């Protein structure tokens, strides 16, 4: 009698465990993990912000306060960097603006997070100086963010005590990632987990901890960086760094047979830049015209040549990650492509 009931209990337990295993394996098979890789400043976190906006219903309110403080601090820091660049280039501002610049230097060094009324007026006044605007055109030499101009233009709105950042402000705000960001959402019956890591050199040794169970890599390249130098090592061209990073990671033992989506990002900046900064000054092997289409094709081929092998597919998209409408379409197409490849991997198609 005792042995019969213990057998029944055992059977029941086995049933429960088997059920659990089945559910777990179903869950696992419906979970898609994507890792977003690429060099620093290429637009990885911006992509995740768009995913929050598009798939999670927006940027959470509690994040907005954090962005507000960072945006204000960035305005002060970027203006300080711009004024230092003007000094380096020996550019003379008007007498009045020179005085403001000196005052700005003495008041804000070491106290960069206070966008006071005075600071707001000074930024506004300095940014109206055509000489300083010319210095801004040389920004890539001085590691001044492209987005600085957007925020200088908006300084009055941003200094308002009731200011709440808009999605566009948040998409333009630069905070280099340290550690890892994860966005999770449900879409098309799948549970998506998208992992964003820091792209600067010091961050890359942490990447390997997030490589398990990855279905697909999204590799982000900033097309506009072909004439820029690395923030962490000014002797290295950013596009060269991106090519060598792509080679090292996607051809590593972890990812050699994984499908990969390359997002050629910052297309808006690239389209403006290529008209003014000839591509072959930085890539002498380029013999095409200085137009957007030839330039896009040139870099696409460079990456495809490095990454192609017969075990996997590489898909390419050209993006402007701060443009939500455009990114909606790209994300839809990227997601469908990932699902299709995921099903193939699982042996369903």
Feature table: binding site for GTP = 171-177, 196-200, 265-268, 321
State which of positions 264-303 bind ligand GTP (CB under 6 A). Answer: 265-266, 268-269
Q: State which of residues 177, 193, 290, 324 lies at the interface with ligand GTP (CB under 6 A).
A: 177
Q: State which of residues 32, 37, 44, 169 lies at the interface with ligand GTP (CB under 6 A).
A: 44
Stretch of residues binding ligand GTP (CB under 6 A), selected from 35-43, 87-95, 290-298, 310-318: 35-43
Q: Specify the pairing of strand 180-187 against strand 190-197.
A: antiparallel
Stretch of residues binding ligand GTP (CB under 6 A), selected from 52-60, 86-94, 197-205, 246-254: 197-205
CA dihedral in degrees (334, 338, 340, 342; nearest 10)? 180
The distance of closest approach from Cβ of residue 129 to ligand GTP in the complex, given in angstroms and rounded to an integer, is 23
Given the complex with ligand GTP, which of 97 and 249 has the nearer CB atom?
249
Q: What is the residue whose two structure tokens read 């169970």?
A: 213
Stretch of residues binding Mg ion (CB under 5 A), selected from 61-69, 170-178, 240-248, 252-260: 170-178
- Evaluated on CA atoms 44, 77, 241, 300, the torsion sign reads positive
Query: Can you say how many angstroms the Cα of residue 45 is from the centroid of all Cα atoms in its chain?
Result: 4
Given the complex with Mg ion, which of 178 and 308 has the nearer CB atom?
178
Please choose which of Mg ion, ligand GTP, none residue 269 contacts, taking the beta carbon within 5 to 8 angstroms, the exact cut-off set by kind.
ligand GTP
Convert residues 79-108 into a mask of x (bound to ligand GTP by CB under 6 A) and - (unbound). Answer: ------------------------------
Q: Are 232 and 201 in contact (CB under 8 A)?
A: yes
Given the complex with ligand GTP, which of 100 and 273 has the nearer CB atom?
273
131 binds Mg ion (CB under 5 A): no
State which of positions 33-72 bind Mg ion (CB under 5 A). Answer: 44-45
Q: State which of residues 32, 33, 35, 45 lies at the interface with ligand GTP (CB under 6 A).
A: 45
How far, in Å, CA of 88 to CA of 330, rounded? 41
172 binds ligand GTP (CB under 6 A): yes
125 binds Mg ion (CB under 5 A): no
Closest CA to 41 of 230, 213, 171, 211: 230
59 binds ligand GTP (CB under 6 A): no
Q: Are 194 and 48 in contact (CB under 8 A)?
A: yes
Stretch of residues binding Mg ion (CB under 5 A), selected from 132-140, 175-183, 276-284, 335-343: 175-183
The distance of closest approach from Cβ of residue 272 to ligand GTP in the complex, given in angstroms and rounded to an integer, is 9
Per residue, the 3-state secondary structure of 1-47, as one string, reads CHHHHHHHHHHHHHHHHHHHHHHHHHHHHCEEEEEEECCCCCCHHHH
Question: How far is residue 153 from each of residues 98, 123, 125, 169, measured CA to CA in Å?
Answer: 20, 9, 11, 12
Q: What's the burial of 235, exposed, middle or buried (CB within 10 Å: 0-12/13-18/19+)?
A: exposed
Given the complex with ligand GTP, which of 16 and 208 has the nearer CB atom?
208
Q: What's the burial of 117, exposed, middle or buried (CB within 10 Å: 0-12/13-18/19+)?
A: exposed
DSSP 8-class letter at 92: P
Question: How far is residue 105 from each of residues 99, 110, 136, 335, measured CA to CA in Å?
Answer: 10, 10, 18, 48
Tokens read off for 338: 């990932």
Q: Name the residue with the smallest CB distance to ligand GTP.
A: 199
73 binds ligand GTP (CB under 6 A): no
176 binds ligand GTP (CB under 6 A): yes
**Which residues is 237 bridged to in the sheet?**
229
227 binds Mg ion (CB under 5 A): no
Q: State which of residues 200, 237, 290, 294 lies at the interface with ligand GTP (CB under 6 A).
A: 200
Residues that bind ligand GTP (CB under 6 A): 38, 40-46, 145-147, 171-172, 174, 176-177, 198-200, 220, 265-266, 268-269, 320-322
């Amino acid at each position: 009698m005792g042995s019969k009931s213990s057998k029944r209990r055992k059977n029941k337990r086995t049933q429960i465990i088997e059920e659990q295993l089945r559910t777990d394996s179903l869950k696992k098979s419906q979970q898609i993990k994507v890792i977003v890789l690429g060099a620093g400043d290429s637009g990885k976190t911006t992509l995740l912000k768009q995913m929050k906006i598009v798939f999670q219903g927006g940027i959470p309110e509690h994040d907005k306060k954090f962005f507000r403080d960072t945006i204000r601090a960035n305005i002060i820091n970027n203006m300080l960097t711009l004024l230092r660049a003007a000094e380096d280039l020996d550019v003379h501002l008007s007498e009045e603006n020179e005085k403001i610049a000196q005052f700005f230097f003495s008041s804000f060094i070491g106290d960069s997070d206070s966008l006071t009324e005075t600071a707001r007026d000074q930024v506004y006044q300095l940014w109206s100086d055509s000489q300083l605007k010319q210095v801004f055109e040389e920004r890539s030499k001085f590691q001044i963010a492209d987005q600085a101009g957007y925020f200088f233009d908006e300084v009055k709105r941003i200094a308002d005590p009731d200011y709440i950042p808009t999605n566009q402000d948040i998409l333009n705000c630069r905070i280099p990632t340290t550690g890892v960001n994860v966005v999770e959402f449900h879409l098309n019956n799948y549970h998506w987990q998208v992992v964003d890591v820091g792209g600067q050199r010091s961050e890359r040794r942490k990447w390997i901890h997030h490589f398990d169970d990855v279905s697909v890599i999204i590799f982000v390249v900033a097309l506009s960086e072909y004439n820029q130098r690395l923030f962490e090592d000014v002797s290295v061209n950013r596009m060269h760094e991106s090519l060598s990073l792509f080679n090292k990671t996607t051809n590593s033992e972890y990812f050699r047979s994984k499908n990969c989506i390359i997002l050629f990002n910052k297309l808006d900046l690239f389209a403006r830049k290529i008209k003014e900064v000839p591509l072959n000054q930085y890539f002498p092997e380029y013999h095409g015209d200085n137009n957007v289409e030839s330039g896009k094709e040139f870099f696409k081929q460079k990456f495809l040549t490095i990454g192609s092998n017969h075990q996997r597919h590489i898909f390419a998209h050209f993006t402007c990650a701060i443009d939500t409408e455009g990114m909606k379409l790209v994300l839809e197409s990227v997601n469908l492509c990932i699902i299709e490849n995921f099903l193939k991997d699982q042996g369903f198609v």
